[in-house]
Amino acid sequence: MGKYVLTILCIIVLSCSMVFADEIDDYLNKGLKYYSNGEYAEAIGEWEKVLGIDPENQKALDYIKDAEKKIKERKEAEKKKKEEKELKILRNGRKLYKNKQPHKAIELWTKIPEDSKYYEEAQEFINFAENKIKEEQAIEAPNKKYYQTGGFHYFNEDYKKAIKEWSKIPKTSGYYKNAQEDINTAKQELYGIEEARKKKDEGEIPPLNGWRLAGELVVGGVAGAVIGVPGAFAGGLIGALLPKTSLRTKKIGALFGYYAFYVVGSSLGVNGIGNSGNETGSFGITLAGSFAGAGISIITLFSVREFEDLADLAVMDNVGLIIVASGPVICSMIGFNITRRYDDDYWAGLINYTQGELCFAMPTVSFYANPHDKKDITQSMDLVRVRF
């Protein structure tokens, strides 16, 4: 009986050993897979399971030792890479400072963390740069005043005083570049005024320009169409308030209201474009021309088309629309251009034709940070030009 028991125990022990051996191999292989993917901590976790079964397993002990070495090497490499990055930040900040960009330099240096070996050096640079900025701000205070005073004079079209103020700014100032650009712009304005005054005194009439005429035609038509809308509402309302109101009276009121406002709007559009740049003309004659054109259009319309009722004007064909729309615009252009002359109260508007160049220009106000203090915003009077 004892012999059988001993045999059974041997079988059980042998079976358990085989099971444990398979489990150990499984953990070892899983660990090696993690190791080959660079996941050393996970690999160590698998191999420690082996030691939980067999504390003396040499393979597991060797693998763990090797993985720990890899982890240490990785940490050292990461530390070295981090230090190299921080050193690069430190050096780039110094380059920015040398290129007179202290604020950007300070912004870079603040990215170096407290645990860095370069932290104290970065703080010294920051303190030095901040003190330097304060010194430069004190030096730049009068230059800032010159720049802002020049901008005030420019806005008030006193270009000579603006140039005088901007010319006080030295080359070493951060405002110098913008001041020189604004001086050139102001000189262009002065040139335009002087040329216009000279031509006006000599009685010279500005030559016709195709681009300007095209602008008058397009803007005159668009302005008339837009301004005519409230006229239609007003006319329709008046038609509705008549004692014997009907749909017919409302239609007629809306038509006449729209057309009256269209005539005024087209003359405003033509005059607006015509008055841009260093040329001007009579608005009264332009408006009179627009009404004359409306009369001519209506007479022409009734001579080429027959209408049983005035309300039928609301369903005109394309030819009729062209007749009534073109008359006020064309005649207002004629009215403006026969009175056209040079204007010595010159400023660059939407469209200007001078010195052989077509120029689209608009006065603008721009804002930018003080080069020595980004929180200090300064306004700049500029002129945006597109030349053809």
CB-hemisphere CA count at 13 Å for 205? 9
Shared-domain flag, residues 123 and 212:
no
Q: Which residues pair with 351 in a beta bridge?
A: 360
Q: What is the pairing mode between strands 373-387 and 357-370?
A: antiparallel
Distance CA 41, CA 235 (A): 86
Distance CA 371, CA 104 (A): 11
Q: What is the DSSP string of 56-82?
A: T-HHHHHHHHHHHHHHHHHHHHHHHHH
The pLDDT score that the predictor gives to residue 380 is 52
The pLDDT score that the predictor gives to residue 88 is 92
Distance CA 205, CA 57 (A): 107
Q: Is residue 151 part of a domain?
A: no
Parent domain of 353: 173-204+345-388
The pLDDT score that the predictor gives to residue 258 is 80
Distance CA 103, CA 299 (A): 72
Q: Please name the amino acid found at residue 298.
A: I
Per-residue pLDDT of the chain in tens (388 residues, 90 and over written 9) = 555 545 554 454 444 455 567 788 888 888 889 898 989 899 898 888 888 888 888 888 888 889 999 899 999 999 899 989 988 988 999 998 888 888 888 998 999 898 888 899 889 989 998 898 888 888 888 888 889 898 888 877 788 889 999 999 998 888 889 989 999 988 888 887 777 677 666 667 777 788 888 888 899 889 888 987 887 778 667 766 767 666 666 776 777 778 788 889 888 998 888 877 667 888 889 899 889 988 898 888 777 766 655 555 555 667 777 877 888 889 998 988 888 887 655 444 445 544 444 455 555 555 555 554 555 555 554 544 444 3
Shared-domain flag, residues 12 and 130:
yes
Q: Is residue 310 part of a domain?
A: yes
Shared-domain flag, residues 252 and 316:
yes
What are the φ/ψ torsions at residue 343 (nearest 5 degrees)?
Answer: -115, 120
Q: Please name the amino acid found at residue 125.
A: F
What SS3 class is residue 158? coil
The pLDDT score that the predictor gives to residue 316 is 62
Shared-domain flag, residues 290 and 385:
no
Domains of the chain: total: 3
Both tokens of residue 259? 């057309």
Q: In this structure, what CATH number is given to the domain that contains residue 81?
A: 1.25.40
Q: Is residue 158 part of a domain?
A: no
CB-hemisphere CA count at 13 Å for 34? 20
The pLDDT score that the predictor gives to residue 236 is 67
Give buried/exposed letters for 312-339 (b at 16+ CB in 10 A, else e).
ebeebeeebeebbbbbbbbbbbbbbbeb
CA dist list (Å): 347 to 78, 157, 235: 63, 8, 38
Shared-domain flag, residues 44 and 103:
yes
Shared-domain flag, residues 81 and 124:
yes
Shared-domain flag, residues 18 and 105:
yes
Distance CA 211, CA 204 (A): 20
Shared-domain flag, residues 105 and 190:
no
Shared-domain flag, residues 194 and 284:
no
The pLDDT score that the predictor gives to residue 201 is 64
The pLDDT score that the predictor gives to residue 211 is 85
Q: Are 281 and 271 in contact (CB under 8 A)?
A: yes
